[in-house]
């Protein structure tokens, strides 16, 4: 977290503190099977092992969706209605807790698993926008986002949009890779954002985002 994010986070912390076999016909078939096996293993290794789930009633964060989070990660709800002690402090807090059409409601911390970064969950009010439009609005509110590459995915009846982009902080002269995915439910849009200390840390945590995507589903209506 850098620049505007770091400053807002520092203010927020202050506020909260106050508050394989071969084929029979020869090597070609064996090579094909070995290659397929390697691809399957790579695919499996690209998804983190589950350490629990969030979203349902009684979980650390109650959300419009449920999904699994990676082993050893820790989930905590975030109160987006934090009130700071001054107008300047409130603006800094709001810059961290609100982005485009969504508000930060849950953080999954990778530090217990040995990485530096968070998978953050943002939610918004029901509307007419689709998942791609939600992501575009989310990034439009992110100063320093560039080179966006959008895609789509489906998971357990949900159709979503995803984006990989570069986040640049001019003050610290640092650029790093980040990712976000979005789905729209009857209870509103949901954005999962994966940051990280730098690109290396970010990519090490991508399997956690892939786990969340594969297990993402609409939560039961209350």
What is the chain's length?
A: 222
Average pLDDT over residues 45-53: 90
Question: In DSSP terms, which residues pair with 4 in a beta bridge?
Answer: none
Res 33: pLDDT: 38
Average pLDDT over residues 24-46: 42
CA 205 to chain centre: 10
Q: Where are the alpha helices (DSSP H) in the chain?
A: 3-18, 27-45, 87-97, 131-140, 199-215
Res 172: pLDDT: 65
Q: Are 108 and 74 a contacting pair, CB within 8 Å?
A: yes
Q: What are phi and psi of 156, to 5 degrees?
A: 50, 45
Residue for token digits 């985002």? 209
pLDDT band at 14 (very low <50, low <70, confident <90, very high): very low
Q: Are 77 and 106 a contacting pair, CB within 8 Å?
A: yes
CB-count burial class (<10 Å; 0-12, 13-18, 19+) for 69? buried
Average pLDDT over residues 155-164: 96
Residue 23 has pLDDT above 50, yes or no: no
Residue 11 has pLDDT above 90, yes or no: no
Average pLDDT over residues 14-26: 38
Res 4: pLDDT: 41
> Residue 148 is encoded by which pair of tokens?
């966006």
> Residue 122 is encoded by which pair of tokens?
């943002």
Average pLDDT over residues 8-14: 40
Q: Measuring CA to CA, how many Å separate 115 from each of 69, 70, 74, 118, 200? A: 14, 12, 12, 9, 10
Domains of the chain: 3-19+51-218 (3.40.1000.10)
- What percent of the chain is predicted at pLDDT more than 90? 65
Res 85: pLDDT: 72
Residue 73 has pLDDT above 70, yes or no: yes
pTM above 0.85, yes or no: no
Within 13 A of 178's CA, how many CA atoms are on the CB side? Answer: 27
Residue 51 makes CB contacts below 8 A (sequence gap 6+) with 68, 69, 70, 71, 72, 73
Neighbours of 114 (CB within 10 A): 9
Assign residue 77 a region (left: φ > 0; alpha: ψ between -120 and 50; beta: otherwise).
beta
Q: What are phi and psi of 104, to 5 degrees?
A: -75, 125
Res 173: pLDDT: 79
């Amino acid at each position: 977290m850098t620049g505007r994010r770091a400053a807002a986070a520092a203010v927020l912390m202050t506020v909260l503190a106050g508050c394989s076999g071969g084929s029979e016909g020869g090597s070609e078939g064996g090579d094909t099977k070995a290659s397929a096996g390697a691809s399957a293993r790579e695919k499996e290794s690209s998804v983190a092992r589950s350490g629990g789930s969030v979203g349902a009633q009684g979980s650390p964060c109650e959300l419009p969706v449920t999904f699994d989070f990676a082993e050893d990660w820790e989930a905590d709800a975030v109160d987006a209605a934090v009130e700071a002690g001054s107008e300047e402090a409130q603006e800094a807090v709001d810059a961290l807790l609100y982005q485009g059409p969504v508000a930060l409601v849950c953080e999954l911390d990778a530090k217990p698993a040995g990485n530096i970064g968070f998978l953050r969950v943002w939610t918004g009010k029901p509307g007419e926008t689709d998942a791609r439009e939600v992501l575009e609005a989310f990034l439009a509110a992110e100063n320093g986002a560039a080179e966006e590459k959008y895609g789509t995915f489906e998971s357990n009846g949900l159709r979503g949009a995803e984006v990989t982009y570069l986040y640049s902080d001019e003050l610290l002269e640092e650029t790093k890779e980040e990712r976000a995915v979005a789905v729209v439910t009857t209870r509103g849009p949901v954005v999962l954002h994966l940051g990280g200390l730098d690109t290396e840390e970010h990519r090490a945590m991508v399997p956690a985002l892939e786990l969340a995507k594969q297990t993402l589903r609409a939560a039961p209506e209350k």
